[in-house]
Amino acid sequence: MPETPTSLEDGWQPTTPSRDSIMRDFVDSSTAYLTSVGRAVGATVVDDVDFAGAHHGAPFPFVNMVVVRRPIPDADWPEQMARIRAGFPGGQPFVITSPFPTPDLRPLGFTLLGHPPFMMRPAGPPVDRPTPVGIRIRPVTDSESLAAFERTLIEAYPAGPSGSMFHPAILQVPGVTLWLATIDERPVATAATHHAGAVNGVELVSCRSDVRGRGIGAAITWSATLAAPDRPAALIASDSGHPVYNRMGYLSVTRFTLWVGA
């Protein structure tokens, strides 16, 4: 009789090969991005088979992000959350991002942020990529433009102080590109791509409110989407960004679960 396997592949094992699924590739790329940036700038990092992320000591929780790497049994969540809290700076919020359904974490002191769509776009050039008149989009390569990126993100998102996230060391992390859009040298929009793995992971998309509706958000998202043009792109969408990404050819795949706690 054939031997019964001891463990069936579920797509979320440490030994699961690259390109098993677009969602797994995005999770792998996201965790590599969070931990490599965290280590480079001196943040507090968690990196194990269950969770990976970094806490930058910022009051803005989306800077302090932890991604769930595989399904966690409901009974294990209290111990896991206590472990992560014990290693993070006391009192500062952080976000738990899960590709999977989670138990109710409110009894553990967390607040549900929602279930945003996970979207992907296959590799390939855009059918239509209009460039708004007067806009310039370029990678961030020096401390001056990095400071402009951080300031724009804080004011346009809007967000709070970002702690250690945008230390100049972030510019030396392989496979991470920050994008800044300007109009007449005024910074107006941001985006980032982590592209060291099998996917272009799009992050940190923001656009100042007084220039919205002019295609600037889509234009800078195209730069992030095509950072490595031979790879698909993926992102977690906001409600306002969802229709923009749809028009760019992104498809809704599933929904993630986001919790915030401290």
- Give percent of the chain above pLDDT 70: 97
| pLDDT-based confidence at residue 239 (cuts at 50, 70, 90) | confident
Confidence at residue 1, expressed as pLDDT on a 0 to 100 scale: 47
Least confident of 131-135, 162-166, 227-231: 131-135
Number of neighbours of residue 249 by Cβ within 10 angstroms: 16
What's the Cα-to-Cα distance from 193 to each of 7, 156, 248, rounded to whole Å?
Answer: 34, 18, 16
Does pLDDT of 172 surpass 80?
Answer: yes
Whether the ω angle into residue 78 lies within 30 degrees of 0, i.e. cis, is: no
Query: Element (H or E) spanning 241, and its range?
Result: none
Confidence at residue 6, expressed as pLDDT on a 0 to 100 scale: 55
Average of pLDDT values for 121-125?
A: 95
Please give the mean pLDDT across all residues of the chain: 95
Average of pLDDT values for 167-191?
A: 98
Does pLDDT of 90 surpass 90?
Answer: no
Does pLDDT of 254 surpass 70?
Answer: yes
Average of pLDDT values for 161-188?
A: 97
Phi and psi (nearest 5°) for 2? -65, 150
Exposure b/e, 10-44, CB count within 10 A at least 16 = b: eebeeeeeeebebbbbbbbbbbbbbbbbbebbebb
Average of pLDDT values for 197-210?
A: 97
Q: Are strands 44-47 and 94-98 parallel, antiparallel or unpaired?
A: unpaired
Torsional class of 23: left (φ above 0), alpha (ψ -120 to 50), beta (otherwise): alpha
Confidence at residue 104, expressed as pLDDT on a 0 to 100 scale: 98
Average of pLDDT values for 68-80?
A: 98
| pLDDT-based confidence at residue 177 (cuts at 50, 70, 90) | very high
Whole-prediction pTM: 0.94
Number of neighbours of residue 71 by Cβ within 10 angstroms: 15
Using DSSP's 3-state secondary structure scheme, residue 26 falls into helix
Tens-digit pLDDT profile for residues 9-41: 899 999 999 889 999 999 999 999 999 999 999
Confidence at residue 261, expressed as pLDDT on a 0 to 100 scale: 97
More confident residue, 240 or 141: 141
- The boundaries of every CATH 3.40.630.30 domain in the chain are 121-254
Phi and psi (nearest 5°) for 234? -150, 155
Q: Which alpha helices (H) appear in the chain, and where do they start and end?
A: 22-41, 77-87, 143-156, 216-225, 242-247
Q: Are strands 186-194 and 200-207 parallel, antiparallel or unpaired?
A: antiparallel
| pLDDT-based confidence at residue 219 (cuts at 50, 70, 90) | very high
Average of pLDDT values for 93-101?
A: 97
- CA 261 to CA 217: how far, in whole Å? 29
Does pLDDT of 4 surpass 80?
Answer: no
- CATH code for the structural domain at 121-254: 3.40.630.30
Average of pLDDT values for 229-235?
A: 97
Average of pLDDT values for 208-218?
A: 94
